[in-house]
Structure 1
């Protein structure tokens, strides 16, 4: 038989008395049994903080939603303004009302829907206001939104420039 050392294989020594694993010398963390759980005050404090964070988040989201509605109203009014210009180009006169952009009147030269019916409603569900001749801007017409309160002439009215 050949010698295993001849092939570069060394026999592994066996230990007759293996050393036991070392014991940890660190002391285990000991907690006073009276302090084993959170106190009622600690739990109430955590719940109060969570409630405060939720309230702040709700107020912030409400403000973001309201700002988005104002932005949407301005964008919709620009779309209506474009439809008014198209109506004037096609019919050689301003529309008598915003409804004429949805359903052209019988005397209109070109009978074509320029705005969807829900396109003349603002984000608060009220109709956009159209007045000809214009008083606010000094132009041929006024186009505006009554804002969140739905009342004409309030501080929250949005006029298209």
Structure 2
């Protein structure tokens, strides 16, 4: 005689459910971690491209003006320093704002002996800043006090003259950590800096 077996309805055991949940959590962690890495790599590449474009514009400025932006020849005899974000504002004015003012019929050309007469980097226009180089502005005349910012929202650093490591100029982003020691190249705070020197 055969004993009828009791059939249990098909279901997952607790161990099977825990295994599936563990696999899902591990996969989600890998995806989220990978997205952070990709986002950081994208920001670094964007900063490298921006530094290359800024460097090219600075060199064009020097060819036209005979000196780099912020040297004693321009900006009332004050040299650009990296100690504050003011050097970033000096670059914005030299590479975009002065050329805009010269070509704008609402701003009379006066005292243009030491000022740029053309726009060297149109991407710095705050009215059409798709790259996020400067804070957007809807004013018809762009403000003069804008600063050029890196992908992490900090000012680009720039120095020239005796302060520079390069014979011409230094240009850099402090990177994700926002810290930099430009005079000490091997310092730990410089690990994530993106530089032209």
TM-score normalised over the length of structure 2: 0.59
Q: Matched residue of 1:130: which SS?
A: strand
Q: Is 1:114–2:120 an aligned residue pair?
A: yes
CA contact (8 A) 2:98 2:115 kept: no
1:85 and 1:41 mapped to 2: Cα distance? Answer: 66
Q: Name 2:86's counterpart in structure 1.
A: none
Q: Is there any run of 5+ residues in structure 1 with no aligned partner, and where?
A: 1-30
2:164 and 2:115 mapped to 1: Cα distance? Answer: 29
Q: Matched residue of 1:80: which SS?
A: helix
Moved over 6 A (4+): none
2:116 and 2:43 mapped to 1: Cα distance? Answer: 33
Q: Name 1:126's counterpart in structure 2.
A: 154
Quick check: which has more Rg, 1 or 2?
1
Q: Is 1:158–2:161 an aligned residue pair?
A: no
Structure having greater relative contact order (Cα 8 Å, sep ≥ 6)? 2
Deviates more, 1:37-46 or 1:104-113: 104-113
CA contact (8 A) 1:69 1:123 kept: yes
Q: Name 2:174's counterpart in structure 1.
A: 146
Q: Name 2:73's counterpart in structure 1.
A: none
Which of 53, 57, 63 matches 1:79? 53
Number of paired residues?
131
1:103 and 1:73 mapped to 2: Cα distance? Answer: 21
- Give the alignment of 1:79-98 within 5 angstroms: 79-96=53-70, 97-98=90-91
CA contact (8 A) 1:90 1:109 kept: no
1:158 and 1:139 mapped to 2: Cα distance? Answer: 18
Note the C-alpha offset of 1:134: 5.7
Q: Name 1:9's counterpart in structure 2.
A: none
Q: Name 1:17's counterpart in structure 2.
A: none
1:78 and 1:70 mapped to 2: Cα distance? Answer: 12
- CA RMSD after TM alignment: 2.3
Q: Is 1:38–2:31 an aligned residue pair?
A: no
TM-score normalised over the length of structure 1: 0.71
Q: Is 1:53–2:27 an aligned residue pair?
A: yes
CA contact (8 A) 1:128 1:144 kept: yes
Q: 1:35 to 1:159 in 2, by over 3 A?
A: same
